[in-house]
Amino acid sequence: MGSIVTRREVLGFRVRAQQLDRVSGGLDDTAVLDIGVQDTGQDGALWALAIRGVENPPADELATVWTLRGAPHLYRRADLPAVAAAIGPFSDADAGKRIFDAAKPLKAAGIPNLVALDTVADAMRSIVTAPLVKGEMSTRLTAVMDEPYLRFCVPCNAIHSHEQTFRLAALRAGLELQPGTSPPVLQPIPGFAPAATVPDRLDVVRAYLRLLGPATPKLVAGYLDAPVKDVQARWPEDVAEVDVEGERRWVLAADADRLAGEPPTATRLLGPFDLYLQGRDRELLVEDRAHAKDLWRMLGRPGGVLAEGEIIGTWRARKAGAAVTVSVALWSPADRDAVAEQAERLAAFRGLTLKSLEVTD
């Protein structure tokens, strides 16, 4: 087994790799954009960029698309052709795993999963020639798809396309999401064509190792919703083996020397789906099971309070008129002034004033 790396060193590595200690930066040198910044909830992708020093980024240089796990992610617009190639399923089995229950009727009908994604993408491309709201897009798609592609949706009391197939086919169809639209509005990506190759920085396996390493194929597969064997088949050769809490893990060899050292002292209010909270080794990030259950709720997930690499509590924000109240529940002692500063930063980001900061421990 390789050199021993402590839990604290892993946390420090991730804080630095994800630039959560950075004061300012630009889109070109913001590392999390290589793997995509999940844009879920009010404090989504733009807040994730803001706490990494990217304030008010040029809107025309960014694009939102459904990618990993079918979630909306923000990328550099110039990267979209290569992103489309990078996030696609590695195999037909991988495609089947990513589309969940949609794979069963396709298999019964003798339709390969990758063929199905391309078929749905072709139909979506022909339908969306101008901005179109998701509901109307779904209605039109249902009208042209055969039975194996459709399901009865109990909540909607209607027949329509399987959700994950719909979402994962959208970028294949050259479609992006209009920023800030709810319900989502899809529109064609100007001049879009998927790239034939993927640069190393956008390779999703390498990006996970670079930003959420050290890791294992199983952890990466969990993040991608991919089979472990598909990740193993694409495991980089230029990796270094390390021992983290008695477990064999790997990091890109070029990053091995960056594992040493304590986490930076930065305090940040992480959004509920910030990349720092997206690693599949949650028990390493938050050791207390009750705290982990509170942080990673299925519904109504709060944000996480980051201080010196540790998640030391949760936070929520309540808007009332032109003001916002930030409530923080601490699990460990914290620099209250630093937390208050970040609450003020959140209010300013939302274009509001901070009415109050409520802290409980």
**Long-range contacts of the stretch 113-118 (C-beta < 8 A, 24+):** 113/89, 114/89, 116/148, 116/149, 116/165, 117/89, 117/165, 117/168, 117/169, 117/172, 118/169, 118/172
For 9, the enclosing helix (H) or strand (E) is helix 7-17
Predicted local distance difference test score (pLDDT) of residue 158:
80
Predicted local distance difference test score (pLDDT) of residue 183:
93
Predicted local distance difference test score (pLDDT) of residue 328:
98
C-alpha to C-alpha distance for 207 and 116, rounded to whole angstroms: 28
Q: Sort strands 310-320 and 132-133 into parallel, antiparallel or unpaired.
A: unpaired
Q: What is the pTM of this model?
A: 0.96
Instruction: State the amino acid at position 273 in one-letter form.
Output: F
Q: Sort strands 303-307 and 239-244 into parallel, antiparallel or unpaired.
A: unpaired
Strand residue runs (E) in the chain: 3-5, 37-38, 62-66, 72-76, 132-133, 150-153, 158-161, 175-177, 185-188, 239-244, 247-252, 267-270, 303-307, 310-320, 323-330, 353-360
Predicted local distance difference test score (pLDDT) of residue 1:
66
Residue whose pair of structure tokens reads 């199983």 in the numeric block: 218
Report yes or no: 263 and 229 within 8 Å, Cβ to Cβ.
no
For 335, the enclosing helix (H) or strand (E) is none
The region that residue 64 occupies, defined by phi over 0 for left and psi between -120 and 50 for alpha, beta otherwise, is: beta
Residue ranges of domains in the chain: 36-188, 286-360
Q: What is the mean pLDDT of the chain?
A: 96
Q: Residue 21 contacts by C-beta under 8 Å, 6 or more apart in sequence?
A: 15, 264, 265, 266
Query: Under DSSP, is residue 90 helix (H, G, I), strand (E, B) or coil?
Result: coil
Give pLDDT tens digits for 180-223. Answer: 899 999 999 999 999 999 999 999 999 999 999 999 999 999 99
Residues present in the chain in total: 361
Predicted local distance difference test score (pLDDT) of residue 98:
97
* Angle (nearest 5°) at CA 260 between 259 and 266: 85
Residues with pLDDT less than 50, the chain: none
